[in-house]
Amino acid sequence: MADYDYDVLFIGAGPGGYVGAIRAAQAGLKTACVEARETLGGTCLNVGCIPSKALLHGSELFEEAAGGTLAKYGIKTGKVELDLAKMQAEKDDAVKGLTGGIEYLFKKNKVDWIKGYATFKDAGTVEVAGKAYTARDIVIATGSSVTPLPGVEVDNDKGIVVDSTGALALDRVPNHLVVIGGGVIGLELGSVWRRLGAKVTVVEFLDQLLPGMDGDIRKEAARIFKKQGMALKLSTKVTGVSVKGKTATLTVEPSAGGAAETIEADCVLVAIGRRPNVTGLGLENIGLELNGRGQIETDHDFATKVDGVWAVGDVIPGPMLAHKAEDEGIAVAENIAGLTGIVNHAVIPGVVYTMPEFAGVGLTEEAAREAGHEIKVGKFPMMANSRAKTNGEPDGFVKVIADAKTDRVLGAWMIASLAGTMVAQVAQAMEFGATSEDIAYTCHAHPTHSEAIKEAAMAVQGKPIHI
């Protein structure tokens, strides 16, 4: 039997790679993880989920204090001022704590961190910083990076045309921020800077925000973000951005073609999607080809076509979400260890962490119909949920989609201040094959936002109580 340095080596220490490496080590495998960044945790912990949530939380507190929500409850704050440097320092602290935590977990589980970029020499060997490492199994978990917009140059250091990394590190509140792309990143980071005082314009190519979410949710998202003061230019494409001094001029035109116009801004955020990180991996050295979307294809076990080479997370098809990558990391480690690792890709929740939050799991109404399901839909507005109403959070609703014949829940979509937390119960119910009746007859604590899920499930049978 061949002699290897490691049983398994993960390339990339984002949620797919670091979680997979820990699980592999737990399963008794000699494990290494290659990561070039100074800190572990990948995009999620360093320049994605975590820092954005720190700024979302901070900016929400600022808006509550400055915007009068606290005053409504008789809390007098005096003049509220923003110390952006402090808010940014708090964000950096959150990132430092969590990335350091992964380093601790690697040590605890005896996962070796090999620092540098890995390039395949053959299917069982990678070279990192001039040194070769062999492993019986190698997992590609290199994640993704920002998709560039042709003709638009991002310069995060200057802070005028930025991507999500730059938008997390601005040292000033822009006067006018134009966000290119009305997806998750655009709306989360657009919300941060709007709350802190920027005028925000979102330019979206499609006729609705939040592609991939249920149609009713997308329609309501446009209404809510407009009400919050964002300007939305839907069905509009950006054809160019030029920068002179501290001013950017965007040229936009209707997506379907038509007269061009210009918009001036002192900050432009390019957020039109992400693409898999495969450059420099030396995939040609192992004969691994990409699909038409630049992704690595795997089978259900996350094995690629090359023996001993596996892939998980944003480099393979599916939603580019940290929790999907984590679950795939665990599954691939278990498969390599000879156990059975499975991810149910039909039940991957998605959340937009604005206020209110937008969340969903399973099929949208449109996808359910397209798949040929005869469906029943139950809806319940947050306005009629006692807790949300009392908290002054009237926006949003819960929508449960069930198969008309079997009553099995096919999907659920929601807008609520706590939607990101609420959606977990539907995901779990769906994993157990729940019907809408199962959810409707599950006792939910009162008063909670989650009761809206129970009521929406009751509405599937036409029998909600509080509306």
Residue number with CB closer to ligand NAD (155 or 307): 155
Residue 343 has a CB neighbour count (10 Å cut-off) of 21
- Shortest separation between residue 212's beta carbon and ligand NAD, angstroms: 7
Residue number with CB closer to ligand NAD (272 or 402): 272
182 near ligand NAD (CB under 6 A): yes
Q: Which stretch binds ligand NAD (CB under 6 A): 119-127, 181-189, 362-370, 447-455?
A: 181-189
Task: Of 38, 246, 48, give the one whose Cα is nearest residue 163.
Answer: 48
Query: Cα–Cα distance between 453 and 440 in angstroms, integer?
Result: 8
Inter-residue long-range contacts of 114-119, CB under 8 Å, 24+ positions, other chains counted:
114/9, 114/32, 114/33, 114/34, 114/35, 115/34, 115/35, 115/36, 116/34, 116/36, 117/34, 117/36, 117/280, 118/9, 118/11, 118/34, 118/281, 119/280, 119/281, 119/282, 119/285
Residue number with CB closer to ligand NAD (286 or 352): 352
Contact 436, 460 (CB under 8 A): yes
- Shortest separation between residue 208's beta carbon and ligand NAD, angstroms: 8
352 near ligand NAD (CB under 6 A): yes
Residue number with CB closer to ligand NAD (116 or 240): 240
446 is catalytic: yes
Residue number with CB closer to ligand NAD (242 or 285): 242
422 near ligand NAD (CB under 6 A): no
263 near ligand NAD (CB under 6 A): no
Active-site residue (options: 323, 446, 449, 466): 446
Tokens representing residue 213 in the block: 């979410």
Query: Cα–Cα distance between 216 and 220 in angstroms, integer?
Result: 6
Q: What is each CA distance from 294 to 121, 183, 288, in whole angstroms? A: 21, 21, 12
Task: Of 233, 184, 234, 213, give the one whose Cα is nearest residue 365.
Answer: 213
> Taking CB under 6 A as the rule, which mask of x and - marks residues 2-31 in contact with ligand NAD?
------------------------------
- Shortest separation between residue 86's beta carbon and ligand NAD, angstroms: 24
| CA 27 to chain CA centroid, nearest Å | 28
Query: Cα–Cα distance between 137 and 122 in angstroms, integer?
Result: 12
Regarding beta strands 125-128 and 409-416, do their DSSP bridges make them parallel or antiparallel, or are they unpaired?
Answer: unpaired
- Shortest separation between residue 91's beta carbon and ligand NAD, angstroms: 15
Matching residue, tokens 């002699």: 3
Among 13, 320, 400, 439, contact with ligand NAD (rule: CB under 6 A): 320
Among 321, 333, 343, 459, contact with ligand NAD (rule: CB under 6 A): 321
Q: Could you say which DSSP state residue 409 is in? A: E
> Taking CB under 6 A as the rule, which mask of x and - marks residues 119-158 in contact with ligand NAD?
------------------------------x---------
Residue number with CB closer to ligand NAD (75 or 290): 290
Contacts (CB under 6 A) with ligand NAD, residues 188-207: 188, 203-206
Active-site positions? 446
Applying CB under 6 A, which residues contact ligand NAD?
149, 180-186, 188, 203-206, 211, 237-238, 271-274, 319-321, 351-353
